[in-house]
Amino acid sequence: MTSAELQSTTSDDAPRLSARGVTVRFGGLVALNNVDIDVAAGKITGLVGPNGAGKSTLFSVLSGLRRPQAGQVFMNGEEVTRMSPQRRADRGLARTFQHPELFQALSIREHLTLAYRIKNTPGRVWLDPITGGGFRPVGRLEHERIDQLIEGLNLTEIQHNSVIGLPLGLARLVEIGRSLAREPSVLLLDEASSGLDARETEDLAGVLTSLVEARGVALLLVEHDVDLVLRLSNRVCVLDFGSRIAEGTPAEIRADEKVRAAYLGEESTDGQEIA
């Protein structure tokens, strides 16, 4: 599909992020084989598959860390296949990593403030350390935006705490908040629930659902937790051995025989699915 063809769709239907025919090879190994995916505004799109299915490779292609041998990537109808991660970020794409990387010297609020300023007032990022301005508020708009984000992440009571020693669940929320502070239109989450206990996973699920609904972000959730993906996502893409074997609503994915056999378990003798 060309950029013109994507733009010819209605704005309500057009995906924020798309891949068409993406193929990646590592020598003789085909990591991705002609893969398509769409990530829509105000929706959660899940990407699942076993280890080695190609999830991380596709994630890298979408974020700009890897260039495919074939295929195209689009953001808002514009082809970005050859654009760097920074240029994609400038156009509204943000991502997280499997292991949160936080600055030990900064508080939770300061992490979000720094990310907001990198996007909105980049000159202050370099000027403040010289002038001693630090993280003093630079205006009501910044203050309000950071307050709203912290409240949405349920971090208000601990916003001034250092990130040192934060439980993994809270550290992931800070990293997600840092990404959202850049006010992205597309957010890629890489194994956001990895290492979380059941309560932390449920808290994260609630936060993600609320933020997508409130901000209209197009969210791609790359996850090993198939149950979580099927509960949260509006659409799900399933990879196996580098190929897309299924795509659809969670109900359609649960009913797909190939997916059910590979990831969700076989049917029991009384016809009930074992998941």
pLDDT of residue 16: 96
pLDDT at 194: 81
Instruction: Give per-residue pLDDT as tens, 147-163.
Output: 988 988 889 999 999 99
Tell me what the pLDDT averaged over the chain comes to: 84
Pairing of strands 186-190, 218-222: parallel
- DSSP classification of residue 267: B
pLDDT in tens, 237-258: 999 999 999 999 999 998 998 8
Which of 252, 183, 259, 194 has its CA nearest to residue 221? Answer: 194
Q: Of the ranges 147-151, 191-195, 201-205, 246-250, which is most confident?
A: 246-250
Residue 59 has pLDDT above 50, yes or no: yes
The torsion angles phi and psi of 262, rounded to 5 degrees, stand at -85, -35
Report the topology of domain 3-102+166-264: Rossmann fold (3.40.50)
According to the model, what pLDDT value does residue 32 have?
97
Report percent pLDDT > 70 for the chain.
84
Per residue in 93-121, pLDDT (tens digit) is 999 887 788 888 889 999 999 898 888 76
**Predicted pLDDT of residue 9:** 40
- Summarised one tens digit per residue, pLDDT across range 162-173 is 999 898 888 988
- Quick one: what percent of the chain has pLDDT higher than 90? 48
3-state SS track over 130-165: HHCCCCCCCCHHHHHHHHHHHHHCCCHHHCCCECCC
In the predicted structure, residue 190 carries a pLDDT above the cut 50 = yes
130 pLDDT higher than 50: no
Of the CA atoms within 13 Å of residue 73, those in its CB half-sphere come to: 24
